[in-house]
Amino acid sequence: MEPRFLPCGPTAVMIEVADTDAAAQLAAHLRRAHLSGVIDLVPAARTVLVTCASAGQLASVRGSVSGFEPGVGIERSGVLVEVPTVYDGDDLDSVAESIGASVSELIELHSTTVYDAAFCGFVPGFAYLTGLPPVLRLPRRLNPRARVPGGSVAIGADFTGVYPTASPGGWHLLGRATVAMWDSSRARPSFIEPGDTVRFVPVDG
């Protein structure tokens, strides 16, 4: 799919691509380009919203996108983030059973995978992490929970992630992170940002 440009006001454009991987790769491509006048860049599931200081600077964005090819020479632009995790989630046993594995095998599979932070959304600090092993790509729960505890590490469909605060949720709970995903007093409020790579590190409760 060729990128599609959707105007968003006089100084912004939303670029639509084929899928989440392409959107994350395009965002990384644009970050590395360091285009003059770009003041904000927001990836989502299939789009990247780019906001410039003036309308005239949108042309450089279009020019940079014209040289973009998904999957070719793309490297993430963020940092490696390690999330200390206690694997004691309410769905740990049922997920292990559904994939035909022991709990220890499930923990090893989830924690030895390196994930990519594709985009953030839902609530502040919630990063959608791609790279989940295919065997763990389970459908969302038929009956979502009215309240998922803050810090819960979970999987749902193609993603894994951490609920920053208590909220409703339909993902399968594997454990809990021991570090806050969102803290507005930090220089970097979101513990995980788009473009980062992420590992879950098992720790004792």
How do the domains of the chain map onto residue ranges? 4-66, 80-202
CA distance 129 to 121: 11
CA distance 110 to 112: 6
- Rounded to the nearest 10 degrees, how much is the dihedral formed by the CA atoms of 190, 46, 134, 126? 20
> 3, 18, 1, 118: which is closest to 61 by C-alpha?
3
Residue 38's pLDDT is 95
Residue 166's pLDDT is 96
pLDDT tens per residue, range 153-177: 999 999 999 999 999 999 999 999 9
Residue 189: both structure tokens together: 């409020």
Contact of 182 with 190, CB cutoff 8 Å: yes
Residue 164: both structure tokens together: 């920053």
CA distance 137 to 132: 7
Residue 67's pLDDT is 77
CA distance 196 to 80: 6
Residue 177's pLDDT is 98
CA distance 51 to 43: 12
List, for the chain, all residue ranges whose pLDDT scores fall below the cut of 50.
none
Residue 88's pLDDT is 97
Question: pTM value?
Answer: 0.87
Residue 74's pLDDT is 55
| Secondary-structure class of domain 80-202 per CATH | mainly beta
* Residue 119, strand partner residues: 128
* Domain 4-66 belongs in CATH node 3.30.1360.40: yes
